Structure 1
Amino acid sequence: MALSIWEILAVFAAGVGAGTINTIVGSGTLITFPVLLATGLPPVTATVSNALGLIPGSISGAIGYRKELEGQRRRILKLSVGAAVGGLTGATLLLALPSTAFETIVPVLVALALVLVVLQPRISRAVQNRRERTGTPARADGGPLLFTGITLASVYGGYFTAAQGIIYLSLMGMLVDDTLQRLNAVKNVLAAVVNSIAALFFLFVADFDWTAVLLIAVGSAIGGQIGAKVGRRLSPTLLRGLIVAVGTAAIVQLLLR
């Protein structure tokens, strides 16, 4: 589909914005998806094009957070397996289910994730106190519960991706004893895995718009670097507040669609 110069600029700018916000928090799809729809792309084609275009942004953001990724190799490898399985499942469901299938459950998932993000410090203290009483050591990888949660969240991520990062952060913040910035770095890697797996699947079985993909890809790659520079400087409290603000906006937009 031929885009006007203004549509090209809008899609590129949306890609930059999505790459930036995805790296810091997540929910960048809520910027790019409406713009793609406004250019006239059908919903599924817009979703597929968006997933393909955001891959460079996810990779760029992960590279920007490479310092925080140090010492997390084992955790990342394990959780990436769940992300890959979930992402492929979600991509398959996107083509098999009606486009409205997840519309009811998505705002509920995001709202629950935000509650967990807000309560995360209190939950972490309670978990730590319980471990001290029972003498049970913390598991660096979050155990089976986190693996299952990441896999299920990745099914949603492969389907639509909006607010996927917020769900990841809420799960890891509750189940892993580590700083929010280091968990944010893991979130970026997992998002890159899901987007890449879903994109490889879409390349063979779904329609997409190459112009939109390239514009979002370049924009999101630039945004990923911007997001990494900004996000790494945020305090845990400020980062948590930004997550809640973006997540709340995501819920409102999803409910109004």
Structure 2
Amino acid sequence: MTPLEAILVVATGFGAGVLSSTVGVASLLSFPVLVALGLPPVVANVSNTLGLIPGGLGGVLGYRDEVREAGPIARAIVLVCALGAVAGAALLIGLPPGVFEAIVPWLILFTCLLVGVQPRVARWLRERHEARHGEGRAERRHMSPATTAFATVTGVYGGYFGAGAGVMMVAVLGLGTDLELRVVNGLKTLSLMVGNLVAGLIFVVVAEPRWDVVVTLAAGSLVGGYAGARIGRKLPDAVFRWAVVAAGVVAALLLF
């Protein structure tokens, strides 16, 4: 890399780290930049995954109180996203490029819809339960089998490519649990970090990343991830929710 390209990659890493810790669409920024610098798509994807690991670590550090508050759900997220990332990385290596091109944009748009309507759906479910049982509904502080299954599928997608995986995880946890959105945001950041870490370890063994790009991107993403977490913790729920929806729509349009 030339010095100018190195500066560009550091700046890209910073921006991607901020996006990862806020709306969860880091790869929409970093992956196209790496391709524009001349990296083949698979090499760019592998290098991008490895370079964003420090950004995830910085984000999780910034959200450490929220992750701790989530308790058993945080541990479940680590497990299902790690297993999902293994499967996703295997799909990336074993399947022809572009297998999921047709379905992924529609999937992201659908999850954007879920994020947008989640408060109304949750309110309807609560009122329906109270009308049937005549008592308040206990808060869901654990992941149901259905929520666990959908979180695992999101982990698979995160290991395969990941653009919009954060939006999907917000939808899954927003509908499947009664956690506050700031906690959901922390868990989303944790899920992205785990997915990148596990998939990255696999890629180190079976792929050929550009290590100069990885190190440069990582330097920017570490700082950006922590800064993004500080921003994300202060966002009002409504602002965060619609920022996620907007980011997801942009992701889907770009993937179309």
TM over 0.5: same fold? yes
**Contact 1:131–1:138 (CA<8 Å) still a contact in 2?**
no
1:32 corresponding residue in structure 2: 30
The reply on whether 1:227 has 2:232 as its aligned counterpart is: no
| 1:82 Cα offset (Å) | 1.1
SS in 2 for 1:189: helix
2:218 corresponding residue in structure 1: 217
**Contact 1:53–1:220 (CA<8 Å) still a contact in 2?**
yes
| 1:118 Cα offset (Å) | 0.5
1:166 corresponding residue in structure 2: 167
Say what the alpha-carbon RMSD is for the aligned residues. 1.2
* Cα distance in 2 between the residues matched to 1:120 and 1:227: 24
TM-score by length of 1: 0.95
2:151 corresponding residue in structure 1: 150
| 1:104 Cα offset (Å) | 1.2
**Contact 2:81–2:155 (CA<8 Å) still a contact in 1?**
yes
TM-score by length of 2: 0.95
1:193 corresponding residue in structure 2: 194
List per-residue Cα deviations over 1:77-122 (Å, max 9, x = no partner). 1222111111000001101111211211110111011000100100
* Cα distance in 2 between the residues matched to 1:78 and 1:179: 17
The reply on whether 1:9 has 2:10 as its aligned counterpart is: no
Comparing 71-80 and 188-197, the one that deviates more: 71-80
* Cα distance in 1 between the residues matched to 2:85 and 2:150: 13
2:250 corresponding residue in structure 1: 249
| 1:134 Cα offset (Å) | 4.2
List per-residue Cα deviations over 1:43-62 (Å, max 9, x = no partner). 11110100001111011101
List per-residue Cα deviations over 1:180-230 (Å, max 9, x = no partner). 111111111111111111011111111110011011111110101110111
SS in 2 for 1:70: helix
State the percentage of identical aligned residues: 39
Give matches, 1:1-257, under 5 Å. Answer: 3-135=1-133, 137-255=138-256
* Cα distance in 2 between the residues matched to 1:41 and 1:124: 44
